[in-house]
Structure 1
Amino acid sequence: MAGGGTTRVVCVGLTTLDVVQRVSEPVVLGGKSRSDAVELLAGGPAANAAVTAAAVLAPGAVTLVSAVGWGAAADVVRVDLAACGVRLVDLAAGLGGGSVGGDLVGGGSALPVATCLVHADGERTVVSPGARSSAWDLTDEARDEIASCAAVLVDGHHPQAGEAALREARAAGARTLLDAGSVKDHVEGWLPLVDVAAASSAYAHQLGLGPSRTLDHLLESGCDTALLTDGPRPVRWRDRHGREHATTPPAVTAVDSLGAGDAFHGALAAGVALGLELPAAVELACRVAATRVSHASSRGWLADLAAEPG
């Protein structure tokens, strides 16, 4: 699956070092459990979306704007992103050791570490510190990337950089997308800057609203188009003109749900950047997310994605 090499997507938000443990037996809290396989790789909503978008488009067509820093953990992430064809603009590139504004975990790294358990039924459990209180702002390099891209996706982490990215994208005429995987108070104020807000069932649950009212909430808050995902159930979207559509994802056997929502958002951003109408972009995102969950591997699925037609 590949698009034009000049089509550009910029993803702004969280990158983590994911420590993925795959387990076939229930984990015993307070005890010891055995894993069947371990992976160390780049994770986080924005990073996973960037990896997916690069697979849909082409290596080098996607830039990730995030805070990574330096050190052993950051080295793993940098190598993985490069192997996936993602260009990194590091908001923390100039930092040294110690701590700055609570962002650092030591040794010059701004990188959170996430612990991810993938269970035998494909469900995942993730523990991560996130980056909602980050004070990193856009660099000149990041602004240049946004000025020349077709679409910008933000995930609500690194709030100062995320809001600035939306404003820069609007000024440059790029399409803007929001990964609303959960409710983040500061993100609610960004919705007037968002073309497509893609929310999850968890977002709706946190608001205490049903699907239709969640779409209403997003539209009334200012976005142009509101979209709601719900696992294998139909993806619903509605725009401010009252047009409504539902897309049913392909039926697959889910064996690994880690990063499935991120894959959906990355593919959706790629589709929007390619100029697809929203029904076609959502259909593409559904196919990509279905491919992701049908593979018990954090990176092995990308080869099958690349082999898919158009």
Structure 2
Amino acid sequence: MANRGLFVGLVTLDIIYLADAPPQPNQKIVAQETTIAAGGPATNAAIAFQHLGNSSTLFSAIGCHPICHLIEADLKSINVMDLDPDRQEPPPISSIVVSQSTGDRAVISLNAVRTQISPDCIPSNLLDEVDIILIDGHQMAVGAEIAKMAGTIPVVIDAGSWKPGFEQIFPYVDYAICSANFQPPTEQSVFDYLYSYGIENIAITQGEHAIEVFNHSQITVPQVNVKDTLGAGDIFHGAFCHFILQHDFVTALAEAAKVASYSCEFFGTRQWMRSAHSYNIEAR
């Protein structure tokens, strides 16, 4: 039976270009490739989790603006619960330029700052058939309430950057996966700060560099021929949710790193899933 994951947070419409470099002021450039996809940390994680053989539910705010059909079409393979289905304003849109020579990305986005939803919309039976929860912090009030409701269901926090309100969620977190950009408002180290909330499973990802793990040695990240790093962290989190239901913390991190690194060999956030070898990551 497939594991069931609930992914709480941001949905964007990503317009992605592959170019030599981001444009300079007053410069027009021509892209080598372009693609459009639904994006956002929870969204990409949900899609990766489902691709690895599980069942994903995305809990986010989308709305009914005419361009939302592009998001809905891209997310048709997963279960989507729209927190604000009557919203007529356009969804958050991300414009992204991926540099062809390095795979680095430049992103401008509105994120969910104008689409915060009340936790009153949470169904009482939301967690009845859920094996793992990932919260990205972009719907903070909803995420905090779901974390409190989780009980014995493991909660994973995607701490890509500090967001006010995270302190309401941390007491209920089982696994904290942070990026190197996560800096809480304290003089404590990230490890000490999160451990003060009782979190013992803490990791800090650093792109292609080794993953720092609380009370454990570093985990080496596979080195690949990078074409695009966009969404690699989100894919890492979705893969982690898959592997942590089968393995210990360190093994799950190492396996998730294989998936995320592999995804960087392809342009955009979906092409890696269309490769003939995309599922059999562990054999690589």
Instruction: Give SS of 2:49's match.
Output: helix
Residue in 2 aligned with 1:193? 172
Find the aligned partners of 2:261 and 2:186 in 1 and give their Cα distance: 27
Instruction: Give SS of 2:112's match.
Output: coil
Alignment of 1:209-220 (within 5 A): 213-220=189-196
Task: Name the amino acid aligned to 2:142.
Answer: A
Task: Name the amino acid aligned to 1:289.
Answer: A
Find the aligned partners of 1:17 and 1:179 in 2 and give their Cα distance: 20
Q: 2:210 aligns with which of 225, 231, 234?
A: 234
Tell me, yes or no, if structure 1 residue 256 matches structure 2 residue 267.
no
Find the aligned partners of 1:223 and 1:271 in 2 and give their Cα distance: 19
Deviation at 1:260, TM superposition (A): 0.8
Q: Which runs of 5+ in 2 are unaligned?
A: none
Residue in 2 aligned with 1:101? none
Instruction: Give SS of 1:89's match.
Output: strand
CA contact under 8 A between 2:122 and 2:142: conserved in structure 1? no
Q: 2:160 aligns with which of 181, 186, 201?
A: 181
Task: Name the amino acid aligned to 1:257.
Answer: T
Instruction: Give SS of 2:50's match.
Output: helix
- Identity of counterpart residues, as a percentage? 27
Task: Name the amino acid aligned to 2:166.
Answer: V
Residue in 2 aligned with 1:102? none
Deviation at 1:145, TM superposition (A): 3.6
Moved more, 282-291 or 31-40: 31-40
Instruction: Give SS of 2:119's match.
Output: coil
Find the aligned partners of 1:127 and 1:96 in 2 and give their Cα distance: 22
Tell me, yes or no, if structure 1 residue 222 matches structure 2 residue 198.
yes
Instruction: Give SS of 1:21's match.
Output: strand
Alignment of 1:31-46 (within 5 A): 31-46=27-42
Moved more, 298-307 or 258-267: 298-307
Residue in 1 aligned with 2:104? 123
Deviation at 1:128, TM superposition (A): 0.9
Q: 1:289 aligns with which of 232, 238, 260?
A: 260
TM-score, with structure 1 as normaliser: 0.84
Find the aligned partners of 2:223 and 2:6 in 1 and give their Cα distance: 30
CA contact under 8 A between 2:22 and 2:98: conserved in structure 1? no
Provide the alpha-carbon RMSD of the alignment: 2.1
Find the aligned partners of 1:88 and 1:122 in 2 and give their Cα distance: 30
| CA-to-aligned-CA distance 1:135-183 (integer Å, 9 cap, x gap) | 3426354x5342311110000111111111111212xx21001000001
Instruction: Give SS of 1:275's match.
Output: coil
Instruction: Give SS of 1:203's match.
Output: coil
| CA-to-aligned-CA distance 1:172-210 (integer Å, 9 cap, x gap) | x21001000001121133211100111111114x76879
TM-score, with structure 2 as normaliser: 0.91
CA contact under 8 A between 1:124 and 1:257: conserved in structure 2? yes
Residue in 2 aligned with 1:146? 127
- Residues 302 and 283 of structure 1: CA distance in aligned 2, closer, same or farther (over 3 Å): same
Deviation at 1:246, TM superposition (A): 2.3
Find the aligned partners of 2:20 and 2:220 in 1 and give their Cα distance: 30
Q: 2:119 aligns with which of 137, 158, 166?
A: 137
Aligned length: 279
Task: Name the amino acid aligned to 1:264.
Answer: F
Tell me, yes or no, if structure 1 residue 167 matches structure 2 residue 148.
yes
CA contact under 8 A between 2:83 and 2:117: conserved in structure 1? no
| CA-to-aligned-CA distance 1:199-242 (integer Å, 9 cap, x gap) | 111114x76879xx22122111332321111111111222xxxx
Tell me, yes or no, if structure 1 residue 30 matches structure 2 residue 26.
yes
| CA-to-aligned-CA distance 1:76-115 (integer Å, 9 cap, x gap) | 1111111xx321011012x254xxxxxxxx2xx5x21111
Structure number with the higher helix fraction is: 1
